[in-house]
Amino acid sequence: MKYLDEYRDARIAQALVAQIVQHTTRPWVLMEICGGQTHTIMRYGIDELLPCGIELVHGPGCPVCVTPLETIDKSIELALRPDVILVSYGDMLRVPGSHSDLLRAKSQGADVRIAYSPTEAVKIARSNPDRKVVFLAIGFETTAPANAMAAWQAKRQGLNNFSLLVSHVLVPPAIRALMVSDTNRVQGFIAPGHVCTVMGCKEYEDLVRDFRVPIVVGGFEPVDILEAILMLVRQLEAGEAKLENQYVRSVSYAGNLPAQQIMTEVFEVADQKWRGIGSIPQSGLRLREEYASFDADRVFDLGEITVDEPAECISAQVLRGLKKPPECPAFGMRCTPENPLGAPMVSAEGACAAYYHYRRHPVAS
Amino acid sequence: MLGHGSGGKLSAELIRDVFLPALRNPVLARLDDQAIVSVNGQRLAITTDSFVVKPLFFPGGDIGSLAVHGTVNDLAMGGATPLFLSSAFIIEEGFSIAELRRIVNSMQQAAAAAGVEVVTGDTKVVERGKGDGVFINTTGIGLVPNGVELSANRARPGDKVLLSGSIGEHGIAILAQREGLEFETQIQSDSAALHTLVADMLVAAREIRCMRDPTRGGVSSALNEIAAQSGVGIQLEEHEIPVCEEVRGACELLGLDPLYVANEGKLIAIVAPAAAQALFKRCGVIRWD
C-alpha cells in the first residue's frame, strides 16, 4: 500500500538506525508526544533498536487518557437519563470513570452509541427529535475541526436536541507546561503529525525559541519515527534547536486553514483540566457564547463533580513521562485492558496499553 | 454484569467461570468447536451456534447462509462429515415476511450446496423491541471417520500453521455494511462451507493435529486458544499472512488488526512439518510457519 509499505520497510529502517548510532555520542532523552507514535514504537520495537543512550519517554498525547474523570462521570450520568442518547467514539466506552464506565451504563440500559464521526451524531439527533443527543467531544486539535463542524451543522439545521460534552486539549501549552516543570528531563520532542496536519508547524516556533529545545514534527510509521529521532539527534549533537518537519507528506507550515477557521468560529481557547496532569492555563477549547445552546455543560444541570483517581494508578506519572508503565505494581496484574484502573490501559493510544499489547510482561492468571 | 462478547478473552472467561464449573464433563471440557461422542461404535460430532449478525444481509451472504456455513464449519473442524442441521428462529414481532422468506431460501441454498439437510426446527416470535429482527440458532450433527483425531490440545513444538486463504474479509464486509462505510471496491464476506476442503486435507495427510475456522476474534483468538490448550507458543511471520489490499486498507483506516477480524470461510490447520508439504501440494493451502 502506497505511503505505508515504504514507511515500514525493514531495510530503510535499519539504515536509519545505523545513522542514529553513528551520530550519537552522548545520552539524550526524547519525548514522542502522541500516543499513536508510542504504539508504533512499542509495536515495532523501535526503542530496542536505538543506541542505549537514547531514551524515549512517552508523552501525554492520548486524548482518551487526558480526558478528566469528571467528564467521564458526566457522560455516564447523561447517558443514564432516559431522554438522552449519548454518542461517543468507541474507545471512550471502556474508560473508567470514578465508579463506572459507559459500557457498563450501556448494559444497564443507557442508550450509548458509537460513531466514527461527530456528524453521525447530528444525523441521530435529526432522526430522533424527541430525544436529546449528546456527543462526547473529546480530543486534541485533530478531532476539534470535525467536532466544530457538528456544532456548526446542528446550528445551521436549527436542531434544539443536540449538544456536545466538550473536553478538548491543545498540544503546545502541554509542551510548555512540561518544559517549565521542575521534573522535566526531555531534551527534544517529536511533535504529533496529525495535530500538525490541522494546525501546521508554525505553532511550535515559540516553544523552540523560548526553551531552545529541538522539535521535529513526526509521522506514525516506523520509518517516520526513526527519521524524526535521527533529525533530533543531529540537532542535539550539533547543539542546535530548530523546528523541523519530518512528516512533509501530510504537514505544511500553515496547516489546514479551513479546518482552523471552523475551529475558531465554534470554539475559543480556555483553561483546561488534564486527567493525571492537572489544570493547564489556556490549554483547551470550549464552545463560544454563540454556541452555548449546544454545550451540554450549559444545557444540562450536571453540577460540580470532583473525584479522585484510584490510589494505585500511576497514570499521572506515566502521562508526564516520569515513569514507564511496567514500573506500576498493578500493571498487567490488577490493571489490564479488560479491567483497567486508568485510562492509558484502555485507549488505543495509551502508553500502558502499548506496553501491555506488545511487550512480554507478567499477567494475572 | 455482562459485557458484549468479541469472541476473545472475555468470552473465554465467561466459559471458564460460569459454564464449565456448572456443566463440566470430559467432552465439554475439551472446549473444541464441536463435541465428539461415541454412539454404538460410531463417532458423532455435535455442535451448535447462534447467529446475531447485524446487518442481516451483507455483501457475500446473509444470516441464513451464515447460519448454515458456521455450523457446517464447526463440524468440519472436528474432521466430521456434516449430515443434518436443526434451525431455530427467534423473530421479532413485525419483521417482514418477505425478508424472512429471503433468509430461509438462502439457508436452503447454502444447505443444498453443502450437502446437508435441515431436518428439524423451531420458531419463536418475541415482542417488538425484544429482539433485533431475526436471531438464528443452528445445531449440526455429523460423522467422524475412523482414525481422524483433531483437537486443539494436540499441537506440538515444531508443528506448522497453515491458513487456507486471505483473512479479514467477513468482518470488514459486515462492518462496512453496518457502519455505512464506502470503499472504492466492495469487500465481500468469505462465508463458505469448508468441509470439502477438510475432507481433501484429511485424505492428503494423516498428521493434522487440529483445525479451527477463525470466526469471531479472528486468527489471533483461534491460535491463542490452541496455544493455551496445547501448552505451546505459536510464532507467526506477519508478512507471510495474506490480507487483500481492500481489507488492509480498511483495517488501517479503522485502526483494526486483520489478525483479530472475523472470517467465515477460512481454516487454520496445525500440522506436523512433513504433512505441511503434502497439504501445500495437494490442496493448495497457503502455508506459513
CB contact under 8 A, B248 and A107: no
Query: Is residue A283 helix, strand or coil?
Result: strand
Determine the distance in angstroms separating the CA of A107 from the nearest CA of chain B, rounded to an integer: 7
Distance of CA A234 to CAs A23, A27, A43, Å?
7, 13, 25
Distinct helix (H) and strand (E) counts, chain A:
16, 11
What are the backbone dihedrals phi and psi of residue A140, each rounded to the nearest 5 degrees, phi first? -95, -165
Task: Give the distance from residue B97's alpha carbon to the nearest chain A alpha carbon, in angstroms.
Answer: 26
Element (H, E) at A244: strand A243-245
Q: Are residues A240 and A326 in the same domain?
A: no
Give me the pLDDT at residue A355, please.
Answer: 93
Contact A116 B179 (CB under 8 A): yes
**A58-72 burial: b if 16+ Cβ within 10 Å, else e:** bbbbbbbbbbbbbbb
Residues in chain B closer than 8 A to A116 (CB atoms): 179, 181, 254
Mean pLDDT of the region B25-42: 92
CA distances from B239 to A41, B128, B151, B160 (A): 19, 48, 27, 16
ipTM of the complex: 0.71
Residues A234 and A172 grouped into a single domain: yes
Residues A296 and A321 in one domain: no
B182 pLDDT exceeds 80? Answer: no
B238 lies within 8 A of chain A by CB: no
B4–A103 CB contact, under 8 Å: yes
Residues of chain A falling short of pLDDT 70: 360-365
| Chain B residues touching residue A103 (CB < 8 angstroms) | 3-4
Both A351 and A291 in one domain: the answer is no
Question: Is A103's CB within 8 Å of B248's CB?
Answer: no
- pLDDT, chain B, mean: 91
B2-16, B190-204, B266-280: segment of lowest average pLDDT: B2-16
Instruction: Evaluate if residue B284 carries a pLDDT over 70.
Output: no
Q: How far is A25 from chain B (nearest CA, A)?
A: 35
* CB-based contact A1 B255, cutoff 8 Å: no
Q: Are residues A265 and A319 in the same domain?
A: no
Q: Is the minimum CB–CB distance between B9 and chain A shorter than 8 Å? A: yes
Cell of A310: 484510584
Give the mean model confidence (pLDDT) for residues B230-234.
95
Out of 3.40.50.880, 3.30.1330.10, 3.20.20.70, 3.40.50.300, which CATH number does the structure's domain B32-143 have?
A: 3.30.1330.10
Q: What is the pLDDT of residue A365?
A: 47
Cell of B216: 469471531
Give me the domain span that covers residue A323: 315-358
Sort out which chain B residues have CB atoms less than 8 A from A104's CB and list them.
1, 3
B2 close to A (CB below 8 A): yes
Which chain A residue is nearest to residue B6, measuring alpha carbons?
A338
Residue A310, in any domain of the structure: no
Query: Which CATH entry fits the domain spanning B160-288: 2.10.25.10, 3.90.650.10, 3.40.50.300, 3.90.1150.10?
Result: 3.90.650.10
- CB within 8 Å: B3 and A1: no
- By the 10 Å C-beta count (0-12 exposed, 13-18 middle, 19+ buried), A334 is classed as middle
Contact at CB, A338 and B10, closer than 8 angstroms: yes
